[in-house]
Structure formats: structure tokens, C-alpha cells
């Protein structure tokens, strides 16, 4: 049986007794019996505050929605926002309320996903304030060995990439916390309640555990496995499938020729994936209410697929064939284009990109990161 940290929390009850606890969590904060971490800490310990990442602690807020302070309707515990327009960090007043911060959110295992930075910001803030920080660790659903993509460069930090990770980094949240705490010299009072029964080679589908949506944008495990590659389309003028029932599985725009694109992509014979012509009309986000033509990506082999290679190949195939294709401009004057923030570098926008050379560069950086990260493996 594979157990996450929350499933073992009472074995480490001594860590939490007699302390005012603050909890950072989301709807994925559940034990193996679907009891929420909020309820477990509220019943067994002194839970005095909840801290909300993007989407809210109960998952009732959409992507990018700012979170205000409110009372949790079930426990009456106050909820403070770590996803505010002006800041994604703790205030000194928030930290004055607690002795220890506990983090329990299912990570996706991709650099773009914001929860990992909520954790790292919180760890850094707790280290500065002398507060204890506990990660209730969870398995990496994309396995703990496969590494893909380039390492984020210093000048390209944002809330979708704020630490020098590869795109798919093959670490658990607890391992990332341990690595950052040491490499950044935060020297925080970090505790990790470890998983057990998990082999690093396991994907989520090998564990027997169900897929709990970390957000509405990743409704299925296939969405999450494709996400390291298809999330790149958020930096383009193509729909990445938001506003459909298959976000990050369907890519398209009104100007695409669906059958032609599917045929060309299948002709690349990329491992572990097939492309089907698809037609869809997003209910929100890009091309809301417009008919898009494109492809749906179908995973045929979860172990063989390399989602980043797949996403890069698809993006440049479209860029080469459609003059209508473009990268989106910066969200704000003076900021970088979104594709640069996703890419952790500006290389996607370079003229005359040689895709095989680009992917080989990614593989070199992935090998470097894979060697380095072994020092921080807990499993």
C-alpha cells in the first residue's frame, strides 16, 4: 500500500502537540479514506489558521482568482490568502498567529504549477521568522525518476517558475523543500512526514491511488501527464483546451486544419502518443464560443511518452505551417512574454529554432539536474 504523509500523521503526532498550527492546503489534502487534512488537524491538534493558495483551500476559486480573508464555513477557522494581488507571501501578522506551518497539497511534478512556489515562499518566510515548517509529503504522480526539460534561468523567475528546476523534475514536494532549504541557505526548521510504500519508478497509476483533481484544469491523470508539454500553448495564441472537458489534451484554433495537423504529427511517430483530429468550442478562455480545429492527444504508453518533447514538436509544427501562429505579448508593460516565463528562458522565441538541437540541449540539462537531485532523494 502506498501512503502519503497525511496517512501517517498520527505516527508523528509529537511534532504537532501543544502548538498553534497553520495549514496550507487544497482539495487534494485528503488521507486515503478521503478525510480532509483540515478536519484531521482540527480534530486532533490545535488548528488556528488556514492559508489559501491559488484556487482556495476548498477548491472553489478559478485559476488566477484573488483570495480574500474569510472564515472556513465548516471549521470556523480563519482563512488567510497566500494568493493576493500584491503578494504571494506571509505577512508578519499571519505568522504571529502560529507556531508551525503545515503544508499538504498534491504536487503535479511540473515546474509551471504554482503550488510548489507557495510552499517554497512559505518555507523561506518561516525560516526568516524562526517558525517550524512541516511538509506532509505526497508522491510525485509523474514518477520520481523521469526528468525533462531545461533548468530555469535566473532572469526568468515568476510565480510559474521561481526556482532552478527542470520542467519535469522527478521529486516530491518534500524533496524540493529539502533541496531549496539547503541550496538557498534558508536553514529553516523543516520537518518532512514521509510517504511509504512508494517506489520512485511508480506513476500514479501504479499506486492504486485515485486521481484527485489538483485544479479544474487537470481533471484526469492524462491531463497531468501531458501538461509539461501542452502547457506551453498558454504562451501562444492557440487554445490549450481550457473551457473544454479535456484541458491540456486538446490544442487548436479556428485557423488550424485538423486532419492535416493530425496526419503530420502522427507521421513524427512520437513515442507513447497518437493525435486525433478534434473540433471544439471553448466555453471560456481563448476563442470562447468559437469553433476551434486542432488535435486531441491520446496517450498510448504512459511510460514511453515524453510530454515536453511532444509539446515542443507540436508547437513548432504549427508555427512552421501557420503564419497566424504567434506567441502572446507580455501581460504587463516591461514584463517578459508568457512563453519566456514558461520556458524559463527566451529560446522558444529565437529565430530559426532547430528543434532537434533544442531538445538535445534540454536532455543535457535534464541529465545534469537528474544527477544533482539524487542527493535529496528520500525514497
Q: Show Cβ contacts of residue 201 under 8 Å, excluding neighbours closer than 6 positions.
A: 143, 144, 145
**253 and 317 within one domain:** yes
What is the residue range of 28's domain? 5-214+372-376
Alpha helix (H) residue ranges in 1-114: 37-44, 92-96
**pLDDT band at residue 175 under the 50/70/90 scheme:** very high
Query: Residue 57: enclosing H or E segment and its boundaries?
Result: none
191: CATH: 3.40.50.12170
315: CATH: 3.90.1150.140
**207 and 258 within one domain:** no
Helices 173-183 and 115-129, packing angle to 10 deg: 50
Interatomic CA distance for residues 232 and 112, integer angstroms: 9
**167 and 314 within one domain:** no
Helices and strands, counts by H and E, the chain: 9, 10
Indicate the DSSP class of residue 36.
Answer: B
Interatomic CA distance for residues 114 and 54, integer angstroms: 8
Residue 262 has pLDDT above 70, yes or no: yes
**141 and 17 within one domain:** yes
Residue 57 has pLDDT above 90, yes or no: no
Task: Decide if 146 is inside a domain.
Answer: yes
Query: What is the mean predicted confidence (pLDDT) over 281-285?
Result: 97
Task: Decide if 354 is inside a domain.
Answer: no
Which pLDDT tens digit goes with each residue over 140-168?
A: 999 999 999 999 999 999 999 999 999 99
- Angle at CA of residue 171, ends 35 and 16, nearest 5°: 45
Distances (CA, A) of 185 to 135, 180, 307, 345: 18, 8, 33, 25
pLDDT at 332: 87
**178 and 311 within one domain:** no
**209 and 64 within one domain:** yes
**227 and 154 within one domain:** no
**pLDDT band at residue 65 under the 50/70/90 scheme:** low
Cβ atoms of 280 and 252 within 8 Å: the answer is: yes
Residue 63 has pLDDT above 70, yes or no: no
pLDDT at 18: 97
Residue 76 has pLDDT above 70, yes or no: yes
Task: Decide if 154 is inside a domain.
Answer: yes
**296 and 204 within one domain:** no
Query: Residue 342: enclosing H or E segment and its boundaries?
Result: helix 338-343
pLDDT top residue among 267 and 215: 267
C-alpha cell at 222: 492524462
In this structure, the chain runs to a length of 379
**45 and 191 within one domain:** yes
Which has the closest alpha carbon to 104: 69, 61, 133, 73? 133
Interatomic CA distance for residues 55 and 61, integer angstroms: 4
**135 and 26 within one domain:** yes
CA-based radius of gyration for the chain: 21
Q: Give phi and psi for 174, each to the nearest 5.
A: -60, -40
Which segments within 138-272 are labelled E, that is strand?
189-193, 250-253
Interatomic CA distance for residues 280 and 12, integer angstroms: 49
Task: Decide if 258 is inside a domain.
Answer: yes
Query: What is the mean predicted confidence (pLDDT) over 258-267?
Result: 98
Q: Show Cβ contacts of residue 152 under 8 Å, excluding neighbours closer than 6 positions.
A: 111, 161, 162, 163, 164, 165, 344, 345
**Number of domains forming the structure of the chain:** 2
Cβ atoms of 281 and 323 within 8 Å: the answer is: no
Task: Decide if 360 is inside a domain.
Answer: no
Task: Decide if 157 is inside a domain.
Answer: yes
Task: Decide if 132 is inside a domain.
Answer: yes
Residue 341 has pLDDT above 80, yes or no: yes
Task: Decide if 196 is inside a domain.
Answer: yes
**72 and 104 within one domain:** yes
**pLDDT band at residue 66 under the 50/70/90 scheme:** low
C-alpha cell at 200: 520512485
Query: What is the mean predicted confidence (pLDDT) over 33-37?
Result: 98
Which pLDDT tens digit goes with each residue over 213-235?
A: 998 899 999 999 999 999 999 99
Task: Estimate to the nearest angstrom the gap between the alpha carbon of 127 and the chain centroid.
Answer: 23
Longest CA–CA span in the chain (Å) reads 64
Residue 61 has pLDDT above 70, yes or no: no
Which segments within 12-97 are labelled E, that is strand?
20-25, 46-52, 70-71, 78-81
Task: Match 501527464 to its residue by C-alpha cell.
Answer: 225
**235 and 172 within one domain:** no
Amino acid at each position: 500500500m502506498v501512503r502519503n504523509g497525511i496517512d501517517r500523521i498520527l505516527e508523528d503526532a509529537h511534532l504537532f502537540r501543544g502548538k498553534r498550527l497553520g495549514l496550507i492546503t487544497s482539495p487534494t489534502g485528503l488521507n486515503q479514506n478521503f478525510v480532509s487534512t483540515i478536519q484531521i488537524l482540527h480534530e486532533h491538534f490545535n488548528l488556528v489558521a488556514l492559508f489559501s493558495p491559488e484556487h482556495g483551500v476548498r477548491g472553489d476559486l478559478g485559476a488566477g482568482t484573488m483570495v480574500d480573508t474569510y472564515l472556513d464555513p465548516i471549521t470556523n477557522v480563519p482563512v488567510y490568502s497566500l494568493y493576493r494581488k500584491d503578494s504571494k507571501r506571509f505577512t508578519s501578522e499571519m505568522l504571529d498567529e502560529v507556531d508551525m506551518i503545515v503544508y499538504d497539497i498534491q504536487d503535479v511534478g511540473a515546474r509551471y504549477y504554482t503550488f510548489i512556489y507557495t510552499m517554497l515562499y512559505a518555507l523561506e518566510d518561516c525560516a526568516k521568522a524562526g517558525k517550524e515548517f512541516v511538509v506532509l509529503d505526497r508522491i510525485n504522480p509523474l514518477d520520481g525518476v523521469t526528468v525533462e526539460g531545461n533548468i530555469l534561468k535566473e532572469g526568468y523567475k515568476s510565480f510559474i517558475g521561481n526556482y532552478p528546476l527542470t520542467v519535469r523534475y522527478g521529486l516530491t514536494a518534500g524533496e524540493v523543500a529539502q533541496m531549496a532549504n539547503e541550496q538557498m541557505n534558508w536553514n529553516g526548521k523543516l520537518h518532512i512526514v514521509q510517504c511509504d510504500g512508494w517506489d520512485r519508478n511508480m506513476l500514479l497509476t501504479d499506486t492504486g491511488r485515485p486521481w484527485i483533481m489538483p485544479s479544474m484544469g487537470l481533471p484526469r491523470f492524462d491531463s497531468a501527464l501531458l501538461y509539461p508539454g501542452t502547457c506551453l500553448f498558454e504562451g501562444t495564441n492557440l487554445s490549450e483546451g481550457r473551457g473544454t472537458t479535456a484541458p491540456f489534451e486538446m490544442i487548436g484554433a479556428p485557423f488550424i486544419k485538423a486532419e492535416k495537423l493530425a496526419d503530420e504529427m502522427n507521421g513524427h511517430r512520437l513515442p507513447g502518443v497518437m493525435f486525433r483530429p478534434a473540433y471544439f468550442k471553448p466555453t471560456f478562455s481563448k476563442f470562447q464560443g468559437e469553433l476551434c480545429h486542432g488535435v486531441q492527444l491520446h496517450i498510448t504508453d504512459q511510460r514511453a511518452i515524453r510530454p515536453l518533447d511532444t509539446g515542443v514538436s507540436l508547437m513548432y509544427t504549427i508555427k512552421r505551417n501557420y503564419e497566424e501562429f504567434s506567441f502572446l505579448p507580455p501581460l504587463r508593460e516591461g514584463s517578459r512574454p508568457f512563453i519566456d516565463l514558461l520556458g524559463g528562458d527566451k529560446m522558444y522565441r529565437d529565430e530559426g529554432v532547430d528543434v532537434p538541437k533544442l531538445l538535445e540541449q534540454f536532455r543535457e540539462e535534464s541529465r545534469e539536474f537528474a544527477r544533482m537531485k539524487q542527493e535529496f532523494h528520500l525514497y
